[in-house]
Structure 1
Amino acid sequence: MRHSNSPVPSIRPITAGFYVPIVTPFSKETEGLDYPALRQHVTWLAKCSVAGIVTQGSNGEAVHLSHTERQIVTSTTREALNSAGFDDLPIIVGCGAQSTLETIELCSHAAQAGGDAALVLPPSYYHSLYNDASILDFFADVADASPIPILIYNYPGATSGFDMDSDAIISLSKHPNIIGCKLTCGNTGKLNRIVAATSASSKPAFLCMGGSADFTTQALVGGGSGIIGGLGNIAPRACVKVFDLYKAGKIDEAVKMQGVVARGDWVAIRTGIVGTKAAMESYLGYGGCCRKPVPRPTKEEVERYVEGFAELFELEKTLVL
């Protein structure tokens, strides 16, 4: 595996905590970017003490955005955070693509737009043609060329079932410009193995992040660095509070609150971005729709989604961080 001699520094360091992969708000009429809603949302999340923002993730409908729109979403997010006094809050940018060349291009665009790190999916479309070294070479090549550090994004649901194993991630963790991973596979055993293997490294701590809020405490017990979870779009205070309670040694309280968060996250997992945006529209007054061909929910479906999130949202209203 090739790599440069020294890590590429992030402008704003990526540290442990709860990160929110934001939705991309669209106009209901035109499906164009809704800039006021985007600014409002990221500012609200920052005020809720999240550790950072992720743009162009699965929740952000990155696959529905052009390269230009991706840059606009990230730059608008950076401008909104800076204007609200959150200059130090980092932004991680989804930069997944099928070719090495396009992935590197997206990493460069992310840096130009104000991103501090790139979240990179493994390519999967031609996976049947890859040999054992193909994925390792892909990440090494991207990390060599990227102007910002990268995190490996392991999400079998978005990569035709391809699931990176702990051996591959541990090997890649040695690259100085690969600073962590996000495990949306939900495999806590994999997380444990990666943490154990990377904790003795001379590099700065390798960030092993869980990929959904429903296993925050489990990830932290295993030595994980935190969570990148879409549920934070609806209930950021509750998601952050579980992390903070655990870190403060209030394990029983953390586990109890984790139950409420996990029940809410199950609704989000089952309904996807459609349910998340519908709940945001109901509870927050914005969120909009998904881009076609994703269907818009019926009135009855929205009512079910809102009811499913009710317990979590009631908890959210009681929390002050």
Structure 2
Amino acid sequence: LNLGGIFPPLATPFSPMQEVDYAQLEGNLRRYASIPFRGLVVLGSNGEYPYLAPRERLEVVSCVRRGLPRDRLLLAGSGCESTQATIELTVSMALVVTPCYYRGAMTSAALIRHYTEVADASPIPVVLYSVPANTGLDLAVEAVLTLAQHPNIVGIKDSGGDITRMGLMVHKTRQEDFQVLAGSAGFLLASYALGASGGVCALANVLGAPLCQLDRLCREGRWQEARDLQHRLIEPNMAVTRRFGIPGLKKAMEWFGYYGGPCRAPLAPLSPSQVEELRGSFSANGWL
């Protein structure tokens, strides 16, 4: 399973009445089909999956699967707090976030046991997902190296931004069938330079084609062009992730012809001054 390339973690569109808007989701998918993504991620952090009912999660996955070109991969989030619930959802899904509600008890041994049970039961490959900004929990490198030996665990999406850690994971798993994915556009070039396979980048919902161009430049060894492009992506990426989060991402999507729409409560819309700051991060780098 080759994970090399760019994956946008899809935003889930909601109507003004806070219902999942499947027609708008299909419209976004039609536009994404023309961009050379390796695949799509559904029900990741950007998909507001904690705010979706179990039935909605399955319907969103089904909708995306129907609209996905045959040559694209679908990584679907299935991280639940309990191991059994994760196994049940993972029948059709593969990106598994670290359980974190009882954070103090989530030792490396507990996480290794959790992921091993999930991977043993899953009929499809599992990708580990470490996103400490959301979970407050970092999947330790030693745990990753142990899990990389499992035949049904094929990679990790690491959103922490620690390049030393990413390089170490690439280096120490080079004998395994295991791939490391950068979890943000802000450190994509640095990750590729250290041997990462691809990226799952929120910014790809907005600037998908430029991110695929950066992927291509890195693979072709055109590092000066890649560096120039990476520099222009850092500020917009920070704006739609750490600075303004999903409300910022959805607002930016609308400027580039996609449907963003509202977030589900309690995520609040941006204020007018925040919208202007967000716009400035794109316009100052030549995107608007």
TM-score by length of 2: 0.95
User: Could you tell me which of 236, 242, 254 is aligned with 1:281?
Assistant: 254
Q: Give matches, 1:105-116, under 5 Å.
A: 105-108=88-91, 111=92, 115=93
> What secondary structure sits across from 1:163 in the alignment?
coil
> What secondary structure sits across from 2:13 in the alignment?
coil
Equivalence for 1:304: 277
Q: Give matches, 1:97-176, under 5 Å.
A: 97-108=80-91, 111=92, 115=93, 118-159=94-135, 161-176=136-151
User: Does 2:146 match 1:185?
Assistant: no
> What secondary structure sits across from 2:166 in the alignment?
helix
Deviation at 1:298, TM superposition (A): 2.7
Cα distance in 1 between the residues matched to 2:221 and 2:105: 48
4+ residue runs over 6 A deviation? none
Equivalence for 1:41: 28
User: Could you tell me which of 11, 17, 28 is aligned with 2:5?
Assistant: 17
User: Does 2:287 match 1:314?
Assistant: yes
Deviation at 1:299, TM superposition (A): 3.1
> What secondary structure sits across from 1:238 in the alignment?
helix
TM-score by length of 1: 0.86
For residue 148 of structure 1, what is the amino acid of its counterpart?
I
For residue 212 of structure 1, what is the amino acid of its counterpart?
S
Query: Identity of counterpart residues, as a percentage?
Result: 34
User: Could you tell me which of 186, 207, 211 is aligned with 1:214?
Assistant: 186
Change (3 A) 1:248 1:100: same
Equivalence for 2:70: 87
Change (3 A) 1:312 1:64: farther
Q: Conserved in 2, the CA contact under 8 Å of 1:18 and 1:51?
A: yes
CA RMSD in angstroms comes to: 1.5
Structure 2 unaligned blocks of 5 or more = none
> What secondary structure sits across from 2:209 in the alignment?
helix
> What secondary structure sits across from 2:41 in the alignment?
strand
Structure 1 unaligned blocks of 5 or more = 1-12, 316-321
Deviation at 1:233, TM superposition (A): 0.5
Cα distance in 2 between the residues matched to 1:168 and 1:300: 43
Change (3 A) 1:308 1:264: same
> What secondary structure sits across from 2:287 in the alignment?
helix
Q: Conserved in 2, the CA contact under 8 Å of 1:264 and 1:308?
A: yes
Q: Give matches, 1:172-251, under 5 Å.
A: 172-201=147-176, 204=177, 206-251=178-223
